[in-house]
Amino acid sequence: MRQPCALRTFTAATVGRFSYGIVFLSLMVALSQATGSYAWAGAAVAGFGLSSPFLAPRRARLLDRRGPGGSCRPCRRPMRPCRRH
């Protein structure tokens, strides 16, 4: 954490990953309300959970190839340079 910008990068990455823990619950609630069936919602959430490990390397490759601005429209804004202490 003594490197320049390490704390800022770590904090942003941690906050960005908070949604990973809640995504399955939010999908379950939204889909069960939309379909009226917990069985269909559970099947869809299971499909999402099973497909995520297979899609993650492709998503990472896309980010490596195009950068965050190529795959995420809000990420196209230039970032402020880190101030050195």
Q: What is the pLDDT of residue 63?
A: 74
Cβ atoms of residues 27 and 48 within 8 Å: yes
Q: Using one digit for the tens of pLDDT, what is the confidence trace for 20-52?
A: 778 889 999 999 999 999 999 999 999 998 998
CA distance 47 to 49: 5
Prediction pTM value: 0.57
**Mean of per-residue pLDDT scores for the chain:** 80
Q: Is 45 exposed, middle or buried (0-12, 13-18, 19+ CB in 10 A)?
A: buried
Q: What is the pLDDT of residue 15?
A: 84
Count CB neighbours of 9 within 10 A.
Answer: 13
- Determine the angle formed by the axes of helices 38-66 and 18-35, rounding to 10 degrees: 140
